[in-house]
A and B are shown apart, each in its own frame.
Chain A
């Protein structure tokens, strides 16, 4: 729709669309968040609720041994995410 595409003029407009929607946020340090986005700013600081954080943990192992990767999850009701850790923000894959 032409009028629709007209309003997306900068990348942040795409994030704006996801306000009050569930988003997936990839963070530095092998972390990933899934939650409802409530607010963002120009630094990509985010306010999210109902967040599930997924942390990939690679345990240090001696040479030659296959590294084991653990996935830790935790649930957070409300979360402030500092923008400098954000790698990407995307809508959830399914729905």
Chain B
């Protein structure tokens, strides 16, 4: 410790020399009165030291008066003590005591940052001895540091000058202790021998003698110990600061890891606190057990006599036992133990010095500093891969990769990922990975904790997940949690469940799995259907884009990939149409619901060429089977109204789109698969549910659909003309089936014909034979035309017998129409009426002109 800038340190490079000098002497060397003694010791003021502690304070010295900035020099790293192999083994313990206790804590080493070189200290000028020469006097200086420095006191002995008599008494006591310890060790060994060998009577006697001797010694030792304790007590009473200093010393020792425990009857004086600081430090078996810092000096002297006393004791044993070989054994044993102790001590010293060198960084950072750095580190780790954001790490990795690639082998170039990550066997990257993983896990945990806290907060709120949608009103300050202006739930199954509105929708949603129980799921809402159509449109746009980017035919791999992609998109679209699946899952069927909007119908028209015939047949089957669900059939009633309205126009457009886009474009089968069998089945499907069929036939779209199928079937029945002029006719079994089906259809349709004409449904509302009905009939003629056309086509396929039945059934209609035409003036309207009737009559080989009116 530098006091007012005085250099009071001992040059530490003198350590080894000092130790050696000390080792040459058996005891500490005091050089007062020597020739080389500079009488400086006399100049020291020895008296009046009692109040030094009060004057200078014995607690930790603050920085307040440390103007030269030399505070805390004790934290300078202490160089590792030189290995002590060359030191005589008997003195090694003593040396340890010097270097670890006396030298480091009792005599703090001052590495003056500026003092030694720039400004020679006062001491160095006064006393060359203290300036760092290698004279043996230094030992004396080391044993007795300048008394004026209260913080250099080794123990309470040092606070007062000691007389030689006192020191000698201590030495003697130590010698006794040492002797007794050695005896204990020896006794243990002998006990072992006792068990192994049958002990001789003589030896037993000797043991008894020894036992008695030991007891005597113990008593003697105990008395000495008592005396010493009394002395300590006296000192404690005389010095009020003794207790404080004692605590300080303990702390110092604790810091250095020197915790010794007495195995004597006196309990350990080391505080539990100091012991806890260094739990890793082993208790050395053969080391002199000591705890009280007050006994350090004593311990030193004990250690000095250790070897000597052991020798003496061994000699005694030799005389008593007359077993020379055993004494040699004991000697070797003792030597070995001492060497072990030395090694341990050296290790210990190294560790202590290291801890001490690191201790200079203690308390450099405040807790808030640490928190700040932790925050920075955590913030950097929020990314999934912190190295990805680190420019230098990236550059380093790329350089390393390049070097690796050029040096090792070119084969690894392909697996760039592997080389980036580095060889997992190498220790560095592996450790790095581990560290990243650990830290990432930690960050994840932090984030999860925060989330769960938020969740629990929300759960406590009355509005659940809807809380704070319109902004926070209470709780944390808005700086900590910015106001939420708008919160739109990102769709995920969980959020849909949590959101009350979404939950409702989720309940409504139809399940694809039919195991839904008895409760039928609700069909698509209009918005849902529109949404799905939009998605399908996106898909078809993607596919068209894909078609434009078709790779060249030569690139086999690219073509394969392209085909795969296209097929995936087509599958996606087909799945999106939801044709397959349970027919009666919902009402309307998902596919029917999808074609309900005009957009949906147009989509089918656009998709036409991308659907396979199989898929088209499936879709047609769905439409035919569930035709009463199709929107145009449902809304067909409005088509019977004569007045023009927006609704009517809307349905008109829908009906047109249905027939044109869905049936004629989208689901038009390719010639290859356009077989009679398919249309047979479709018409059969329509016929299957009677009441629905009769109702459907009364609608224009329904009739148009049937007409379409019927026309196709009739065409196929008569056979198509192939490209080379040959006639491709349908298989005979299909034709037979068709004939049967026609008969059935004829029977079903026969009673329906009259009401199938829209005019038949519309005109009865008007008074008969009025001008009004004729005016209306002009409008309904347009509606009737498709029915007449279909009737004509239908009649063509029938037999003569069927023709007569048809004529009988429709006689009234034909006559009524012709009568109305008769009342009209010549013109377009009249011509149309007659033309309509003639469509049918011509098919039967008749003509309206042949019918006599009135």
Q: Mark A residues whose CB is within 8 Å of B.
A: 1-2, 4-10, 14, 16-22, 91, 94-95
Contacts and interface: CB of A to CB of B under 8 A. Distances in A.
A17 B532 CA distance: 9
B528 interface: yes
A8 B534 contact: no
Given A7-B531, A17-B531, A1 B509 contact: yes
Contacts of A5: 491, 496, 502, 505-506
Given A9-B488, A21-B598, A4 B531 contact: yes
The 8 lowest CB-CB distance pairs between A and B, nearest first, are A6-B491, A1-B509, A17-B530, A20-B599, A4-B528, A2-B496, A4-B531, A2-B506
B597 interface: yes
B647 interface: yes
A2 B509 contact: yes
B528 A21 contact: no
A22 B154 CA distance: 101
Contacts of B493: 2
Contacts of B598: 20-21
Contact of A9 (B491, B496, B502, B528): B491
A70 to B, nearest CB: 21
A89 to B, nearest CB: 14
Nearest to B497: A2
Interface residues of B, number: 27
B510 interface: yes
B410 interface: no
B528 A1 contact: yes
Interface string B485-503: 0001011110010000010
A21 B488 contact: no
B526 interface: yes
Contacts of A1: 505-506, 508-510, 524, 528
A16 B505 CA distance: 20
A17 B527 contact: yes
Given A18-B530, A94-B647, A2 B599 contact: no
Nearest to A8: B531
B490 A9 contact: yes
Given A2-B505, A5-B506, 4 more contacts: A7-B491, A7-B531, A17-B531, A21-B599
A24 to B, nearest CB: 12
Given A2-B509, A94-B647, A95-B650, A16 B491 contact: no
Nearest to B528: A4
Interface centre among A8, A16, A18, A95 (most CB of B within 10 A): A95
Contacts of A14: 527
A18 B509 CA distance: 21
B602 interface: yes
Contact of A2 (B491, B530, B532): B491
B509 A4 contact: yes
Interface centre among A6, A8, A19, A94 (most CB of B within 10 A): A6
B371 to A, nearest CB: 39
A16 B509 CA distance: 21
Contacts of B530: 17-18, 21
Interface centre among B491, B492, B506, B602 (most CB of A within 10 A): B491
Contacts of B490: 9
A10 B531 contact: no
A6 B526 CA distance: 16
B524 A21 contact: no
A19 B537 CA distance: 11
Nearest to A34: B646
Contact of B650 (A2, A19, A22, A91): A22
Contacts of B528: 1, 4
Interface centre among A2, A7, A10 (most CB of B within 10 A): A2
Nearest to A36: B598
B740 interface: no
Contacts of A19: 534, 599
A14 to B, nearest CB: 8
Interface string B646-689: 01001000000000000000000000000000000000000000
B535 interface: yes
22 contacts: A1-B506, A1-B508, A1-B509, A1-B510, A2-B491, A2-B493, A2-B502, A2-B505, A2-B506, A4-B527, A4-B528, A5-B491, A7-B491, A14-B527, A16-B534, A17-B527, A17-B534, A19-B534, A20-B598, A21-B530, A21-B599, A94-B647
Nearest to A7: B531
A4 B508 CA distance: 11
A37 B597 CA distance: 13
A16 B534 CA distance: 8
Nearest to B491: A6
Contacts of A10: 488
A92 to B, nearest CB: 9
Nearest to B654: A95
Contacts of B491: 2, 5-7, 9
Nearest to A14: B527
